[in-house]
Structure 1
Amino acid sequence: MRTPDVFIKGLGVFLPGTVTVEEAVEKGWYPAFEAELHELAGAAVAGATPAPEMALRAAREAYERCGHRPGDTDLLLYADSWHQGPDGWQPQYHLQRHLVGDDVLAVEVRQGCNGMFGALELGAGYLRGRAAGAGGGRAATALLVAADNFGTPMMDRWTMGPGYVAGDAACAVLLTTEPSFARLLAVGSAAVSEAEQMHRGAEPLFPPGPTTGRPLDFRARNAEFKEAALADGVGTGALVRVHGRTLELVERTLAEAGIGLGDVTRVAYMNYSREIVEQRCMAALGLPLEKSTWEFGRTVGHLGAGDQVVSLDHLLRTGELGPGDHLLMLGVGPGVTLSCAVVRILRSAPWCS
């Protein structure tokens, strides 16, 4: 989807301190051979800080950095991939009560690791619709947040999945139709639904695992999927199609953004191991690993739906992205869903000047 009239006005991040891989190996949390194999450096750990509180802090920073009034917000989208609080309660209303007020449509986005991409696509469409019918009124604004704290009894962040460890974080994006420092050029998604068992494995759909105390183990589910793939051959073909559809999505999104792969300054992918980032993303695109955000991502862990936005904030603060640069954001999530977005930096962010 082309989004040349949608801008990023503010960014906010809550990133707690990290526990190093060396410490995790020493305490027996993380196998030494995996530390050597994957070259990960650590994971951000929030302790007992609730994810919705992390989201609130990130959102407040986004507003403060750009001087936007929280009350002038038209939409709130809250993306998450892990439990946020009491069952039967939804986290977006915590931000509605303590920040943006009651005259805002607030919706939770449950799209796993690609939740922020879904929020970008939904938010951009909402804002463009509002702008078309505004008749000269104020610019429309959407607050998009993502937050997760994985430090819970049914989750082991160090063995959550193959090739990554889970980190805790929250991030916030203020999207607007008002010209600002960065433009969202295009955002899109695709799916390979025949691979949905990859994140389900052989686990029954009912009763849901959290209601029975069953821990989340993507390693076991992935192994079960591969076993089924060997048995019927369907899963193997699905994995091939995931790779092909990823390249198709990138090509389409770049075309919608009006740029080529040679115009991409940096690539923000999932905070996975070196071999996954290099082989599944950068080499597949024909780009060197140095253009990725792996060196940063390896220090904080896989941040649920926040990897790409937290990386964007890091690149801006460190001066690794500047005016005229393009960031390609790419993600993979359960479904299997594939997501892509292109951001152009127009001028220095107000808080980085």
Structure 2
Amino acid sequence: MRPTEPVGIVTAGMWLPEGRSRASDAVAAGRLRKRDAAALGHESVPDAEEVAPPDAAVLAARGVLDAAGLEADRLDVLAHAWMYYQGHDLWSPAHYVARSLDALRALPVGIQQVCNGGAAAMGLVMAWLASSDPAPSARSRLGLVTTGDRFAAPGFDRWAGDYGVAYGDAGTAVLLRRPAADGDVLLLRSVATVADPLLEEMHRGTDPFSPVARGHRDQVDMRATKRAYLRTHGTLPFTSSNRRAIRTVVAQALADGGMDGRDPRLTHVVLPRFGAKTLAESWIPVLAEQVGRAQLLDLGRETGHLGAGDAVAGLADLVARGLPAPGSSALVFSAGAGFTWSCLLVESPAR
């Protein structure tokens, strides 16, 4: 999916708490094996402790709006994405984020596409902005994407609730503008997304439907549902689909931007924030075949997987590092249960 004209990324940012959860503590408590900790490759991940996930999103959004010098009442649409519990049972966290920011003109939309939520929100807001065709004299239209997740005990074990992934707490935000304007740090050229619903069973397993949250177990246990899936189907359906999906979103994102993997303008690739072994076995070999000249950036060693926030966090890190160089481009990845894979193509405008 590509806009008819580039959508500007005014800026992007991330809020990380000061608290840290350490892998060594999880090992000492018997919740995580040493070899699994080594495979993850994270010494620690951010722990938000008492900060609620929507408040983490608000903190990230305020930083982005302040950096852009814009008031929240200029926003036309606000999409908030999340993976895990937001703090209330039946409630709209997107409207809370809008209210907390005083973004009272904006249309708040909640995006619940698990770990791919931030990338899905980017695509939807990009499409929403592109579908509005203001007159030449009208002001630009602004969209804000936020994510917020906190993987708190007792319902979630950030170190042992899943295979190959450790979960960190964060809020992220990115401000989009159409038409793009001078001063926008990046241009969003395309968003490519593919899904394989045949894999939804990996996060359902053989459990019957429950009338309440965590009705089967006291903690979220993605390992249990994945073991049940693997007993029935083995590893081949997922590994084949994962390779195929990565190749597809790379090719589609680049083609929509008028590029291919050999284009010298493609200089950086931002990996999803998964464990080191997962990236080394399932992502890096596939990407090396397609974008071998570009530098692969593993920016998640200090954060772990940020739930719905990986894609937006990747943009925030690019902005903070001044990457890519003017005139160059980068790919930013996200993937999540369902399964869904997304790839954003962004360009640093020539100054």
The TM-score, its normalising length taken from structure 1, stands at: 0.90
5+ unaligned residues in a row in structure 1: which ranges?
349-353
Secondary structure in structure 2 of the residue aligned to 1:246:
helix
Equivalents in 2 of 1:91, 1:38: separation in Å? 31
Equivalents in 1 of 2:293, 2:216: separation in Å? 42
**Of 203, 217, 220, the match for 1:216:** 220
Equivalents in 1 of 2:52, 2:293: separation in Å? 34
The answer to whether the aligner puts 1:137 opposite 2:138 as a matched pair is yes
Q: Which moved more, 1:284-293 or 1:101-110?
A: 284-293
1:260 corresponds to = 260
The answer to whether the aligner puts 1:19 opposite 2:32 as a matched pair is no
2:304 corresponds to = 301
Give aligned-pair identity as a percent: 28
Query: Deviation of residue 291 (structure 1)?
Result: 2.7
Letter in 2 for 1:311: G
5+ unaligned residues in a row in structure 2: which ranges?
none
Letter in 2 for 1:39: G
2:314, 2:332 within 8 Å by CA — same for their partners in 1?
no
Pairing 1:202-351 to 2, within 5 Å after superposition: 202-210=206-214, 214-230=218-234, 236-237=236-237, 239-262=239-262, 263-286=265-288, 291-294=295-298, 296-346=299-349
Work out the number of aligned pairs and report it: 342
Equivalents in 2 of 1:290, 1:265: separation in Å? 4
Query: Deviation of residue 212 (structure 1)?
Result: 6.2
**Of 191, 194, 201, the match for 1:197:** 201
Pairing 1:66-105 to 2, within 5 Å after superposition: 66-105=68-107
1:271, 1:301 within 8 Å by CA — same for their partners in 2?
yes
Equivalents in 1 of 2:125, 2:88: separation in Å? 26
Query: Deviation of residue 204 (structure 1)?
Result: 1.8
1:209, 1:215 within 8 Å by CA — same for their partners in 2?
no
1:351 corresponds to = none
Equivalents in 2 of 1:297, 1:237: separation in Å? 27
Q: Which moved more, 1:133-142 or 1:248-257?
A: 133-142
1:168 corresponds to = 169
2:110 corresponds to = 108
Equivalents in 1 of 2:293, 2:317: separation in Å? 17
Equivalents in 2 of 1:347, 1:161: separation in Å? 42
**CA root-mean-square deviation:** 2.2
Equivalents in 1 of 2:143, 2:51: separation in Å? 25
More helix per residue:
1
Q: Deviations over 1:70-120 (max 9, x none)?
A: 110000100000110111111112222121433221110000111111111
Equivalents in 2 of 1:37, 1:212: separation in Å? 28
Moved over 6 A (4+): none
Q: Which moved more, 1:165-174 or 1:91-100?
A: 91-100
Letter in 1 for 2:267: T
Query: Deviation of residue 176 (structure 1)?
Result: 0.5
Letter in 2 for 1:56: V
Secondary structure in structure 2 of the residue aligned to 1:298:
coil
Q: Deviations over 1:109-140 (max 9, x none)?
A: 0001111111111101111122x144521000
Q: Deviations over 1:180-227 (max 9, x none)?
A: 221000002111111110121112223244356642111111111111
Alpha carbons of 1:288 and 1:10: their partners in 2 closer, same or farther (altered >3 Å)?
same
Q: Deviations over 1:266-314 (max 9, x none)?
A: 22222112222123222102156993332x3022111001123223322
2:150 corresponds to = 149
Q: Which moved more, 1:146-155 or 1:58-67?
A: 146-155
Equivalents in 2 of 1:221, 1:290: separation in Å? 36
The TM-score, its normalising length taken from structure 2, stands at: 0.90
Secondary structure in structure 1 of the residue aligned to 2:6:
strand
Letter in 2 for 1:329: V
Secondary structure in structure 2 of the residue aligned to 1:258:
coil
Equivalents in 2 of 1:238, 1:219: separation in Å? 15
Letter in 1 for 2:147: A
Alpha carbons of 1:105 and 1:219: their partners in 2 closer, same or farther (altered >3 Å)?
same
Q: Which moved more, 1:29-38 or 1:247-256?
A: 29-38
